């Protein structure tokens, strides 16, 4: 991965973590930073999607009826009827 696409971070480790991680990195032939990146990638790959904080945005806005996705045709027909137009007249 190009260093231009990485964001520098400052993380504080316990001394024992550093010592053990450096030894593991050396045995694997990678840098300490690369070992940490690999470990984070592994952790994130094992994290269930449900724990992704992005899912917390679902339902934060009132976007109409709760069954809009399942019954969109019904709601569209009602909206057209309210405007006094039919779908066929509009498309002719």
Q: pLDDT of 13-71, one tens digit each?
A: 999 999 999 999 999 999 999 999 999 999 888 877 777 777 777 777 766 778 888 88
Best CA proximity match to 36, nearest among 22, 47, 49: 22
On whether residue 1 sits in a domain, the answer given is no
Count of domains forming the chain: 1
Domain assignment of residue 5, yes or no = no
pLDDT at 79: 84
What is the predicted pLDDT for the residue at 50? 73
The pLDDT score that the predictor gives to residue 92 is: 59
pTM, to two decimals? 0.50
Kindly list the distances between the CA atom of residue 90 and the CA atoms of 53, 55, 79, 82, in Å, as whole numbers in the listed order. Answer: 43, 39, 13, 14
Domain interval for residue 16: 12-57+65-91
């Amino acid at each position: 991965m190009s260093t231009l696409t990485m964001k520098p971070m400052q993380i504080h480790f316990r001394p024992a973590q550093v010592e053990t991680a450096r030894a593991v990195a050396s045995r694997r032939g990678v840098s300490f930073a690369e070992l940490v990146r690999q470990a984070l990638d592994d952790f994130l790959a094992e994290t269930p999607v449900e724990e992704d904080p992005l899912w917390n945005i679902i339902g934060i806005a009132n976007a109409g009826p709760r069954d809009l996705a399942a019954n969109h045709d019904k709601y569209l027909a009602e909206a057209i009827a309210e405007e006094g137009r039919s779908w066929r007249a509009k498309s002719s």
